[in-house]
């Protein structure tokens, strides 16, 4: 009888750095667009200080979800998205002393949901199409 408590087999090792890179790019893109829209400049130091709480939130999400086990899975994106937003907002407010206006929380949630989950939806569609074309 198989042990159902065993973790699923990890996906191809190339997917983990790609997924981590796309997730990180999603957070950095969100911050870069926000800073540009609010005329806060594009200096690297400013970008990194604004992105830090959300990048830390993303790291926490990856660790909690163990995203490396299924980095491109839709369920992984659906789990890391809210964790990234919540941890990022808490760190932004408590540790970094920045604001968390309701509109900002909504925009951050929408953008990060669209990107952290969205690229995984596209990847799943691509993989499904490729598997059908091979048959």
* pLDDT digit string, tens, across residues 82-112: 999 999 999 999 999 988 999 999 999 999 9
- Within the chain, what is the greatest distance between any pair of CA atoms? 61
Examine residue 39 and state whether it is found in any structural domain, yes or no.
yes
Examine residue 105 and state whether it is found in any structural domain, yes or no.
yes
For 9-52, how does the pLDDT look when each residue is reduced to its tens digit (9 = 90+)? Answer: 555 578 999 999 999 999 999 999 998 887 776 688 888 999 99
Examine residue 107 and state whether it is found in any structural domain, yes or no.
yes
Examine residue 53 and state whether it is found in any structural domain, yes or no.
yes
Domain that holds residue 68: 15-134
pTM for this predicted structure? 0.84
Measured CA to CA, the distance from residue 95 to residue 7 in angstroms comes to: 35
Cβ neighbours of residue 81 closer than 8 Å, sequence gap 6 or more: 61, 112, 113, 116, 117
Number of folded domains that form the chain: 1
């Amino acid at each position: 009888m198989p042990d159902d408590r065993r973790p699923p087999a990890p996906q191809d090792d190339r997917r983990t750095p790609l997924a981590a890179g796309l997730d990180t790019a999603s957070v950095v893109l969100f911050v870069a667009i926000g800073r540009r829209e609010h005329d806060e400049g594009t200096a690297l130091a400013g970008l990194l200080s604004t992105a830090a709480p959300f990048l830390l939130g993303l790291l926490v999400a990856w660790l909690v979800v163990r995203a490396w086990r299924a980095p491109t899975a839709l369920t992984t994106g659906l789990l890391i998205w809210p964790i990234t937003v919540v941890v990022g907002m808490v760190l932004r407010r408590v540790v970094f002393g920045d604001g968390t206006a309701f509109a900002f929380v909504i925009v951050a949630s929408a953008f990060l949901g669209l990107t952290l989950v969205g690229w995984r939806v596209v990847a799943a569609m691509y993989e499904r199409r490729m598997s059908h074309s091979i048959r």
